[in-house]
Amino acid sequence: MLSAGCKVDINTASVLSFIQTEALNDDIKKLVSSDMRQVDTCDCLMVKDHDFYGIDAFFIEAGHSDTINDNLELVKKIRLVNYTACIFILITNTKAFSSINYYLAGADHCIKLPSDADDKAKLLSRTLDDSHWKKTTQLILDRTRLLLSSSTSKLEISYTEMTIIDALLRAPNHALSQDDIAKTLDPNIVFYDPRALEKTISRLRTKIKKAYHLELIFSVRAFGYRLRRGTVSG
């Protein structure tokens, strides 16, 4: 059974931690304690679906293969009532691990934690700082004028780049395979060059990062791409 982080009165919590490892739970507490209330551990059966609403961030440990299905169901349940929260999947299993299903279910970050304590702390801190939970940049996609705009600046994009962002924005949980993106660009396509698509998206990512200092489009290994949650509207 998974363990869940919650307060005695869960409505006062900003973060929930579904973590079995006490040391890892302590690491998370250290990172969020400065601006969030600490979370206590309790049985996940005590947490009702509606209690997920209003929580800012969730931390879920992926440590054993026999908990994968439970974790996936948990992510899906969270997304049914809370679409804006940031969900972190923390991988503590040393074996090969696929993050595809977690991203499709609605996770925002799947990170494999190193064994070295300092490296682990740095990775966790960097991931939190770069997440939409901490960095709340808001962009607007103007499909007509081909612009990606913030409150202070405008970035010109091509029709192809607009189409890619738009497709990711409309996709369930903002995740699409390479094949689906290629078909969005050309519904009649039969064959396409994956390297050409990768270069197009790489240039777009670099352009956005240079303009707005954030990663808007993330690669999902062996699958495709996902869009940063809660950042683009339009």
Counting beta carbons within 10 angstroms of the beta carbon of residue 61, is it exposed (0 to 12), middle (13 to 18) or buried (19 or more)? buried
Say if pTM beats, i.e. exceeds, 0.85: yes
Superfamily of domain 3-130: Response regulator (3.40.50.2300)
The residue extents of the domains of the chain are 3-130, 139-233
pLDDT grade for 2, boundaries at 50, 70 and 90: very low
Domain spanning 139-233, CATH architecture = Orthogonal Bundle (1.10)
Per-residue pLDDT, 113: 93
Least confident range of 46-55, 133-142, 199-208? 46-55
Taking a C-beta distance cutoff of 8 angstroms, is the pair 90, 61 a contact? yes
Of 166, 106, 113, nearest to 141 by C-alpha is 166
Cα Dmax for the chain: 56
Taking a C-beta distance cutoff of 8 angstroms, is the pair 137, 145 a contact? no
Give the other-Cβ count within 10 Å of 115's Cβ. 8
Per-residue pLDDT, 5: 43
For 151, phi and psi rounded to 5 degrees?
-70, -15
Per-residue pLDDT, 197: 95
